[in-house]
Amino acid sequence: MKYVSTRGHSASQTFTDILLEGLAPDGGLMVPEQWPRLTRPKLDVMRDLPYPRLAFEILRFFADDFPGAELKALAERTYTAEVFGTPEITPLSTLEPNLHLLALSNGPTLAFKDVAMQLLGNLFESVLEKQDRHLNVLGATSGDTGSAAEHALKGKARVNVFMLSPHGRMSPFQRAQMYALQDSNVFNIAIEGMFDDCQDVVKSVNLDPEFKARHAIGAVNSINWARVVAQVVYYFKGYFAATGTNDEQASFAVPSGNFGNIFAGYVAKRMGLPIRRLVLATNENDVLDEFFRTGRYRPRKAAETQATSSPSMDISRASNFERFVWDAVDQDGDKVAWLWKQLEEKGGFDLSTDRAWEKIEDDSGFVSGRSTHEDRVKTIRHVKERYGVVIDPHTADGVKIALRVREPRHPMICLETALPAKFDETIVEALGEHAPRPASFEGIEALPQRYEVMRADPEAVKAYIASRTDLHRGSMQ
Ligand SMILES: *Cc1c(COP(=O)(O)O)cnc(C)c1O
């Protein structure tokens, strides 16, 4: 499998080549040259596989430059009951006939990002070892991504994690999840400012190619292709669990922000998994809902992005969306480059009169909707009263739209993207009681914490990274 850029002007690369990279040199995102297609017999065999084997069967299509035995061992080491709570990894539960929840958030940080990040940590370790390289992952987080990355990379050889977070602006629970890590390769930097300030610092460091190269700066952000592939697996798992045979169709409802999760569902559909609808749910930050309703893509400015009670979906532009548009315009890189130039120059583009729009409306399976805080609170209450289950505010955004568009004859699978314990404030507002908290998380706020408070100053952050990585280098074998 070769990977090409969505903008058509970068040399093709392998899975290993793109594993540690961010953007393609021409500014696009890397995508497979063609989608693997599953035959019916292959799909039938996959139906009964345990999660790690299923993950291996899907990964090997995309990572065919990895030795099979190694990939298989890696999947088996990643997807264990010890890390994800059950041997099923992403168990399906049924609220009522043809209405299901797919639990994606039983990993170490209680959000679905663990499913991909845990694999990424092991892939990084393996490739860095083979290439005799080291990597300093630098990122900014408002909560979920940073903690998932730290828990996936902690204690790994050849990797350090430098994670910037807004000082005093995360919940005590989120803070504890990150700052209580005692591993010597994890560096928490609490920036005096907001999340945007953290992101600006990261951008600014990345604009210094000399520093980047000298300190082997890398990222684990949501455009990472391996993360998308890892997420394809649970669409298969959920489909098999909710249907009796591969003749049936099932729909998925996906709380969306950067378009990474639902794009994985789209990839599964393109591979031949019988997915009927992909229900895209947004909160008040509704750029994606607007696109799927109107054909117009109009990313917001950071200042227009609202802070909501489903904070992990508070995005202004959906970074993986370019991969979908590339496929919708028949993989025409020049057209994607032109559209993204429109974005830069005019702040948006309009596909509603394009040939691609017909294809999106007729074949892509996407339907969309948005929720408000009020909707989330009502949905959390409704699901608790009707089914006795407590869901988190992000999952509620998905369930809300799922209930509106589901068809009685086809299973609707709602992706549960976080556990309610992470967002207790909204649960208390909706239910008048605290969210259930897994036993191993009792009292984590009281654990000793390790972090450095710094100004939002790229030079100071660079100096900090340099001092830590030089130390590290000095002690390396
Ligand atoms: C990241 C996140 C999302 C959004 O997923 P995308 O892949 O960015 O669309 C939804 N819910 C939770 C809990 C998240 O952490």
Q: What is the pLDDT of residue 168?
A: 87
pLDDT over 70 percentage in the chain: 98
Q: From the CA of 389, how far away is ligand 1's center (Å)?
A: 20
Task: Report the b/e string of 372-397 with b at 16+ CB within 10 A.
Answer: ebebbbebbebbbeeeeebbbbbbbb
Q: From the CA of 399, how far away is ligand 1's center (Å)?
A: 14
Nearest CA to ligand 1 atom 2: 312
pTM of the shown model: 0.95
Q: What is the pLDDT of residues 58-115, one digit of tens each?
A: 999 999 999 999 999 999 999 999 999 999 999 999 999 999 999 999 999 999 999 9
Name the token pair of 325: 């548009």
Nearest CA to ligand 1 atom 8: 258
416 lines ligand 1 (CB under 6 A): no
Compute and round to an integer the Cα radius of gyration of the chain: 21
Distance in angstroms (rounded) separating the CA atoms of residues 159 and 146: 15
Count: domains in the chain: 1
Confidence of residue 20 (pLDDT cuts 50, 70, 90): confident
260 lines ligand 1 (CB under 6 A): yes
Residue 61 in domain: no
Per-residue pLDDT at 357 exceeds 70 = yes
Q: From the CA of 361, how far away is ligand 1's center (Å)?
A: 24
* Residue 64 CB burial class (10 angstroms; 0-12, 13-18, ≥19): middle
Residue 335 catalytic? no
Distance in angstroms (rounded) separating the CA atoms of residues 225 and 20: 9
393 lines ligand 1 (CB under 6 A): no
| Residue 244 belongs to domain with CATH number | 3.40.50.1100
Per-residue pLDDT at 5 exceeds 60 = yes
SS3 sequence of the chain: CCEEECCCCCCCECHHHHHCCCCCCCCCCEEECCCCCCCHHHHHHHCCCCHHHHHHHHHHHHCCCCCHHHHHHHHHHHCCHHHHCCCCCCCEEEEECCEEEEECCCCCCCECHHHHHHHHHHHHHHHHHHHCCCEEEEEECCCHHHHHHHHHHCCCCCEEEEEEEECCCCCHHHHHHHHCCCCCCEEEEEECCCHHHHHHHHHHHHCCHHHHHHCCEECCCCCCHHHHHHHHHHHHHHHHHHCCCCCCCEEEEEECCCCHHHHHHHHHHHHCCCEEEEEEEECCCCHHHHHHHHCEECCCCHHHCCCCCCHHHCCCCCCCHHHHHHHHCCCCHHHHHHHHHHHHHHCCEECCCCHHHHHHHHHCCEEEEECCHHHHHHHHHHHHHHHCCCCCHHHHHHHHHHHHHCCCCCCEEEEECECHHHHHHHHHHHHCCCCCCCHHHCCHHHCCCCCEEECCCHHHHHHHHHHHHHHHHHCCC
Residue 346 in domain: yes
Q: Which of 177, 254, 278, 312 for a ligand 1 pocket mutation test, highest count of atoms within 8 Å of Cβ?
A: 312
Q: What is the pLDDT of residue 381?
A: 98
pLDDT over 90 percentage in the chain: 86
Q: What is the pLDDT of residue 304?
A: 87
Q: From the CA of 260, how far away is ligand 1's center (Å)?
A: 8
Q: Which of 144, 414, 426 for a ligand 1 pocket mutation test, highest count of atoms within 8 Å of Cβ?
A: 144
The active-site residue, picked from 2, 42, 72, 113, is 113
Per-residue pLDDT at 244 exceeds 60 = yes
Q: From the CA of 181, how far away is ligand 1's center (Å)?
A: 23
Q: What is the pLDDT of residue 477?
A: 32
Q: What is the pLDDT of residue 196?
A: 81
Residue 226 in domain: no
Residue 84 in domain: no
Residue 171 in domain: no
Q: What is the pLDDT of residue 473?
A: 52
Residue 177 in domain: no
Per-residue pLDDT at 474 exceeds 50 = no
Residue 4 in domain: no
* Residue 171 CB burial class (10 angstroms; 0-12, 13-18, ≥19): middle
Per-residue pLDDT at 403 exceeds 80 = yes
Q: From the CA of 417, how far away is ligand 1's center (Å)?
A: 7
Residue 163 in domain: no
Per-residue pLDDT at 221 exceeds 90 = no
Mean pLDDT of 15-20: 92
Instruction: Find the domain containing 351 and state its range.
Output: 92-110+231-431
Which residue in 126, 44, 49, 47 sits closest to 87, CA to CA? 49
Ligand 1 nearest-atom number relative to CA 315: 8
144 lines ligand 1 (CB under 6 A): yes
111 lines ligand 1 (CB under 6 A): yes
Ligand 1 nearest-atom number relative to CA 148: 15
User: In whole numbers, what is the pLDDT of the chain averaged over residues?
Assistant: 94
Q: What is the pLDDT of residue 470?
A: 65
Q: What is the pLDDT of residues 281-307, one digit of tens each?
A: 999 999 999 999 999 999 988 788 888
Name the amino acid, one letter, at 233. V
Mean pLDDT of 338-346: 96
Q: What is the pLDDT of residues 406-451, one digit of tens each?
A: 999 999 999 999 999 999 999 999 999 999 999 989 999 999 999 9
